[in-house]
Amino acid sequence: MDDETLFTLMVELHRDGMRQGPGSDEETLRALELTRLDTSATLQIADVGCGTGASTLVLASKLRNSRITAVDLFPESLDILETVN
């Protein structure tokens, strides 16, 4: 199976969920914890490949003094993020 087919299958699998890919809020929070960042600091973060922004929103809830830029290849995904935010 080629990469394009695998990608298409992944998109189809997660199409109807807010998080259009694997992972969870808990995993995002664990990853943030592992960074040992000062969550009260003013940070600039790029969430590249953010999809519909599920992880972006989790990060924003914990990093209130930070600026988070959400970037994705698919404008439709960013449109969904804008309606949720």
Task: Encode pLDDT of 7-52 as tens digits.
Answer: 777 777 766 766 767 789 999 999 999 999 999 999 999 999 998 8
SS3 30: helix
Tell me, yes or no, if the pTM score tops 0.95. no
Q: How far apart are the first and last CA of the chain?
A: 37
Q: Which CATH superfamily is domain 3-84 in?
A: Vaccinia Virus protein VP39 (3.40.50.150)
Per the listing, tokens 């087919």 go with 5
Query: Residue 67's closest CA among 39, 44, 37, 47?
Result: 44
What is the structure's pLDDT at 79? 87
Give the residue from 22, 18, 23 showing the smallest Cα distance to 80: 18
